[in-house]
Amino acid sequence: MTDPNAIQPSALDQLPDRDPEETAEWQASLDAVAKAAGPHRAAYLMRRTLERAEGTGIALPKLLETDYVNTIPTAAEPSVPGDEAMESRITAWNRWNAAAMVSRGSKHGVGGHIATFASAAWLYETGFNHFFKGKDSGEAAGSGDQLYIQGHASPGIYARAFLDGRLNEQHLDNFRQEAGGNGLPSYPHPRRLPWLWEFPTVSMGLGPLSAIYQARFNRYLTNRAIKDVSASHVWAFLGDGEMDEPESTAALALASREGLDNLTFVINCNLQRLDGPVRANFKIVQELEAQFRGAGWNVVKTLWGTAWDELFQLDTTGALVRRLREVPDAQVQTYQTRDAAYIRQDFFGKDPALVEMAKLLSDDKILECFHLSRGGHESRKVYAAYKAAVEFKGAPTVILAQTVKGFTLGEGFASKNANHQMKKLSVDEFKAMRDLLDLPIKDSDFVDGTVPYGHPGADSPEVRYLQERRAALGGPAPARRVHPVAPLPAPAEKAFASFDKGSGSQNVATTMAFVRLIKDLVRDKETGKRWVPIVPDEARTFGMESLFPSLGIYSPKGQTYEPVDRDQLMYYKEAKNGQILNEGITEAGSMADFIAASTAYSTHGEAMIPFYIFYSMFGWQRTADQMWQLGDQLGRGFLVGATAGRTTLTGEGLQHADGHSPVIAATNPAALTYDPAFAYEVATIVKDGLRRMYGEATPGEDPNVFYYLTVYNEPMPQPAKPSGLGIDEGIVKGLYRFNTAESAGLSSVANAPRIQLLGSGTAIHWVLQAQKLLAEEWGVAADVWSATSWTELRRDALDADAALLRGEERVPYVRQALHGAEGPVLAVSDYMRQVPDQIAQWVEQDYSSLGADGFGLSDTREAARRHFGVDAQSVVVAALAQLAKRGEVKATAVKEAREKYGL
């Protein structure tokens, strides 16, 4: 009979019950257990019942949290192949040299991080000894596994490279001292140490995001039959504090949705971030477990070492497990630093059953458990977790490994809140560490208080073992390799030449011109399949829907439904071998796609040509950190800021009005920033970009760059390319003369005052209109120049300045181009004046500029341009003002023009 006091289903309950009496019996059984054996026993039975249901395939919501114990019990742990004692000695040497390198560098004030690797050493060493495939792996030839190393652990990776002979003592002494050459960067950085590091990871949060999309891109390459990289596994080593970054968890659902079982996150849960506990009053491991389980990941917890086995065997009532669940992380950290008496009182003294258990434990046993024994510090525990991860199919795996930050570094380091900022150990602390690690380093080796590096010898058993293990796994790791692949053949010339004749009477936006160019290039028989179109759910905005049926949108499941627009010509087509990556509303995810594709030439030996097209306002402003990551990782490809400019998309208002992306892009040395005005300029820039990045680069020209092109959604007449020598060179270098007043048929006054008008992007059209007004209404001759790249002009000028300081004679290109041009120079852009002002100091003529400074606003294009003072009439007034200063037009002309145009 149903207990009248039990909570009854709501009248609004929509779950039908075909047998209420049976339901009542189950509920009554639960009530009886809770009453007789306590609520903990009832909860235990419910948990086991739910686990049973899940295991037999009954559809139930999964448990988001499990008890605070290891996922893999000791009895189920596989034995570790190889020599565990040897691996322990190798790890000891690496611990020592990592700490020595940072401590020695501290004398020069360069610092470094010691505590992170100290906590994570076995997480890395176990992988290097048994799991991480190298570039020469038979299974994953040319690719190996992709390792995203936690940035603050880099000293440990350098220490291992020192042990296996890839680095020497001079390298270690040059840690964080790169200016003189032969140095080591602070963190993983492919541009600074390109033979070792593949992925820059210290900008926290970008590593996990990139790792997910790298694993996804590996599947993309395989499914598109570019290269079978199904044997490659992606490993991302992360900190529990790092998981607070929104990018760290932004794509968890994508990874589970696409079943990326080629991906493993290893989160070092030392319970500390940079300034203190990650979750002082809570439990970060439980929080992360719930988050990852909820997102559909396989979760493996590796929390406790073997010393805890005895305690768990004594826990016949579950009191120990309950206590472990309720103790907050900051208190666990405190136990690490306190004596056995404190732990007996504070941890065991909270429950009578635990008090009795503690009576059976010696002080040494308690200290061993609470000070030393963590799952992340034992190769057997870590090996079991890694093996479970690589063998799990259907979903990605996250390993939550509990460690102690500063482990083996002594009482002054371990679990101290300040240990992230602590950069050195004293000589006495090093000697204590030596004794703990049992290393053969003599007191006499400490010369003048300097800690020595340790090495067992190039032919020692340790080094031979290390190298044999790496050889069996396919060579050294981490390692970056640029494969000797032949340059990609240039696409057919007709794809580019078709833009040279212009659009005639048809108005065409440069966004549409770019998309049309891409449509031609992806049809190329040689290189077409290597294009990777990337768009964040705005393909129709940019006119790319025509690519859907021809290229297909990538989906590992293909298309399991009939699209609603199947009867239309440009229907929505998904395919397992689809070429387009349509990411949904995530610029961060799209950039992560781009990074993976743009570095495939190195990661997998396959040159891919990504182009990522996006609202220009939501590129550099939102994801500039990833664009730095792209440059750091030596990525190649085309970023396309569409619907660009502050006045071109004004109906969308302030948040869509981009007046500054070229300014931000100019700060990135790897970004070649262009603001083309015409379709033929777009084609010329893309053609040259393909040559430089994927073809035969000019000697001294760095191919490891990426292009940022701004294109516009304003349909305008597209003129034919001007004839004459040097046009293509000018387009690529950043400036060429589009016309003169005479060639435009506008010069009717002999010896008329003359001005040079420079315009970029869509501003060229206002400048051309102003050229006509100046001639017809004010008797002024204006020559018009297209400034395709203010940034490249500036960089060339900076290089020229540097050459002069070296005693070389060199004139900046912008000065060469404008040399002899009559009159002042007026530069106009749809961006803030800071963009064209980049070249001001190298222009020998009088220089002024117009731009769209300030916040954007919603209105018509014409009204917005008048508001910012960049429309044709405003250009005329500014030009007359410049000429009036020189006495070449009457001073009253400026006022007359202002009144005439209503400014």
Distance CA 334, CA 758 (A): 66
Distance CA 573, CA 457 (A): 60
- Which among 452, 302, 311 is positioned nearest to 382, based on CA atoms? 302
Q: Degrees (nearest 5) of the Cα angle 383, 384, 388? A: 115
Across-strand partners of 298? Answer: 397
The per-residue DSSP string of 491-555 comes to: PPTHHHHTTTT--TT-EE-HHHHHHHHHHHHTT-TTTGGGEEEEESS-TTTTT-TTHHHHH-EE-
Residue matched to tokens 């990776």: 157
- CB neighbour list of residue 586: distance below 8 Å, 6 or more residues apart: 250, 251, 536
Distance CA 383, CA 126 (A): 6
The per-residue DSSP string of 552-566 comes to: -EE-TT---S--TTT
The answer to whether 751 is a known ligand-binding residue is: no
The per-residue DSSP string of 161-176 comes to: HHHTTSS-HHHHHTBT
Q: Give me 293's structure tokens.
A: 């389980």
Instruction: State the DSSP code for 399.
Output: E
- CB neighbour list of residue 816: distance below 8 Å, 6 or more residues apart: none
- Which among 338, 405, 516 is positioned nearest to 150, based on CA atoms? 405
Across-strand partners of 759? Answer: 786, 828
Q: Are residues 30 and 55 in contact, defined by beta-carbon separation less than 8 angstroms?
A: no
**Single-letter code of the amino acid located at 895:** K
Backbone torsions φ then ψ of 30, nearest 5 degrees:
-65, -40
- Which among 233, 248, 90 is positioned nearest to 160, based on CA atoms? 90
Backbone torsions φ then ψ of 516, nearest 5 degrees:
-65, -40
- Which among 722, 828, 824 is positioned nearest to 769, based on CA atoms? 828
The answer to whether 270 is a known ligand-binding residue is: yes
Report the binding-site residues.
240, 270, 272
- Binding-site residue positions for Mg(2+): 240, 270, 272
